[in-house]
Amino acid sequence: MKRRNFIRSAATSGLAMAGLGTVMGASVTEAAASNQAQFKLKYAPHLGMFPEHAGNDPIDNIKFIADQGFRAIFDNGLMGKSPEMQDKMAAELARRDMDWGPYVLYADFSTESMVLFNDESRKMLKDRLNEGIETSKRTGAKYALMVPGRYNERLEWDYQAANVIDTMRELSDIAEKAGIVIVLEPLNRWDHPGLFLTGMPQTYMICRAVNSPSCKIVNDMYHQQITEGNIIPNIDRSWNEIAAFHIGDNPGRKEPTTGEINYKNIFKHIYDKGYDGVLCCEHGKSKNGKAGELAFLEAYRMVDSFEV
């Protein structure tokens, strides 16, 4: 048995079913006291996932999320928080040995921000990146998410791809010197029509062309189930360029087990490949109120119950 499998099996054997029963009972926090029920992978709830149990304070949310056995969080709006709050969040995560998922650095769906050779756009993107670098220095968050924006209807596709590659080379040079990684997110064209970046093969090609350790992919499996499916083979083919994952079932973009994606098999596959990064729970809940928060926890216990 692999060393990490032995350690986690020893920590969780006999607790999975008991933990699940407690989760569905009155006290969720008691279900994983002292992190005895840690998850195998670093699923990362966002800070607004448990308002009924943890309220709205970010620090209380981090504490609650940790007490359920999660080893990471993500906060798309991290750059918008005050430096004081960023400091507090970073300190609490460090105290609990938890990781950050990617925060949103730039995602304007209305602008052709990378597909044209435009000095003004590139300056704007560099300025934004420098702001993100300050956030990363303050918090220790390593991954910053970008979306290349809309495509242009009057310029051939390959020219647009070349412009995206050139832009990302410039940005990645800056990011690499600062020790952070830009992750590009392809989004499905039905929820977000008109965007340039939509598929895993396309994003893989761009990352390979940029050829930088600071230009990688965040694989949002909800979007990719809609765009192309074939999730596990696309994970394998793009593996060297994937730095993070987003989770959401389809249809509905709710917690795993509510749609058609077999997340239990996917998570086992990712685990067996040795992945130790973050998987952001970027989705809603299938039920309202406390019942929805309990259903969220039950779903993740279920999909994390694969054998190792």
pLDDT at residue 36, rounded to an integer: 56
Q: d(Cα 117, Cα 121) in Å, to the nearest integer?
A: 8
| Both tokens assigned to 120 | 């003004």
| Both tokens assigned to 219 | 């694989």
Threshold 0.85, pTM exceeds: yes
pLDDT at residue 157, rounded to an integer: 97
Cβ contacts of 297 within 8 Å, gap of 6 or more: 23, 28, 31, 68
Q: How many CB atoms lie within 10 A of CB 243?
A: 21
C-beta of residue 136 within 8 angstroms of C-beta of residue 178 = yes
Q: d(Cα 302, Cα 56) in Å, to the nearest integer?
A: 27
Element (H, E) at 104: strand 103-106
Q: d(Cα 67, Cα 100) in Å, to the nearest integer?
A: 16
pLDDT by residue (tens digit) across 188-203?
A: 999 999 999 999 999 9
Domain annotation for the chain: domains and CATH numbers: 39-303 (3.20.20.150)
- Asked if residue 16 has pLDDT above 50, the reply is no
Q: d(Cα 217, Cα 230) in Å, to the nearest integer?
A: 17
pLDDT by residue (tens digit) across 260-270?
A: 999 999 999 99
pLDDT by residue (tens digit) across 205-241?
A: 999 999 999 999 999 999 999 999 999 999 999 999 9
Q: Mean of the pLDDT values across residues 104-122? A: 96
| Both tokens assigned to 114 | 């990378």
Cβ contacts of 80 within 8 Å, gap of 6 or more: none
Percent of the chain scored above 70 by pLDDT?
88
**Residue 186: cis peptide before it, omega within 30 degrees of 0:** no
